[in-house]
Amino acid sequence: MPGGTSYIGDLTIVESSGEIVSQSVGDKALKSSAADDSTLEVDSSTGKMRVKVQGSALANGIARNRMSKYAGTWLQGALAVSASVAGTFQLENTYSTSLIVTDVLIFITTGQTTGATRTVDIGLGSGASTSYDNLIDGLDLATAGVYSNLTDKGTNGGIGVWRSGEYINASASASPTGLVGFYAVHVVDVTA
């Protein structure tokens, strides 16, 4: 019946929209079931699926680790307590293109507890076991806080081009005993 509802066995279809409204073909076929209501939702005015607005707690929408390199994505992890080259953290560009490193954020929740000051150099280059300081140069690891390659870059730091196959190495001057913290590196492919 045009404009009404069609039934084929347990299959129910709203004719005006063509939407399947029964569970007979599996719940994943229903638009309301495919929308998880934290990443995707059904727009109440258009009936179409859309990315959910982040909301007052900023918890909805697309997570940072789900963004493509073209939109810009964040690579993050925990800082390690190590005196070896690239021992604080290391990332390798396995993304088949040169990426612009726009932000390097260091969040120290507990500063290093040894007597002598420990610093970290963070930079990018071709060597997996080479210390670089062209993103952040000589950041003191003793004080809890948030640090950036834009505001705390030191003498040589800043932004840079991270070529395919290269590394971002974070190397401490000596073992930063007691250090607890996290890093986040924002990269974007501006060529596409």
Report which secondary-structure segment, H or E, holds 34: helix 31-34
CB neighbours of 130 closer than 8 A, spacing ≥ 6?
85, 167, 169
Residue 98 sits in the same domain as residue 154: yes
- Are residues 97 and 142 both part of a single domain? yes
Mean of pLDDT values over 123-148: 97
Picking from 107, 119, 124, 118, the residue whose alpha carbon sits closest to that of residue 158 is 124
User: Is 95 part of any domain?
Assistant: yes
- Six-digit token string for 27: 């719940």
Query: In sequence order, which residues have a C-beta less than 8 Å from that of residue 113 and are 6 or more positions away?
Result: 177, 178, 179
Percent of the chain with pLDDT over 70: 89
The answer for residues whose C-beta is within 8 angstroms of residue 53's C-beta and 6 or more apart is: 60, 61
Structural domain boundaries enclosing 127 = 64-188
pLDDT, residue 23, reads 63
Same domain as 108, residue 13: no
At residue 70 the predicted structure's pLDDT band, cuts being 50, 70 and 90, is confident
Query: Does the residue 158 lie in any domain?
Result: yes
Please report whether residue 58 resides in a domain.
Answer: no
Is 110 within 8 Å of 132 (Cβ atoms)? no
What is the number of structural domains in the chain?
2
**Domain shared by 46 and 110, yes or no:** no
> Quick one: average pLDDT of 59-76?
84
Taking only the tens place, the pLDDT of each residue in 6-55 is: 767 777 778 777 777 766 555 555 566 666 777 778 888 888 888 888 77
Examine the domain organization and report whether 79 and 174 are in the same domain: yes
CA 39 to chain centre: 15
Q: Which CATH number covers residue 138? A: 2.60.120
Whether 41 and 118 map to the same domain: the answer is no
171 and 147 share one domain: yes
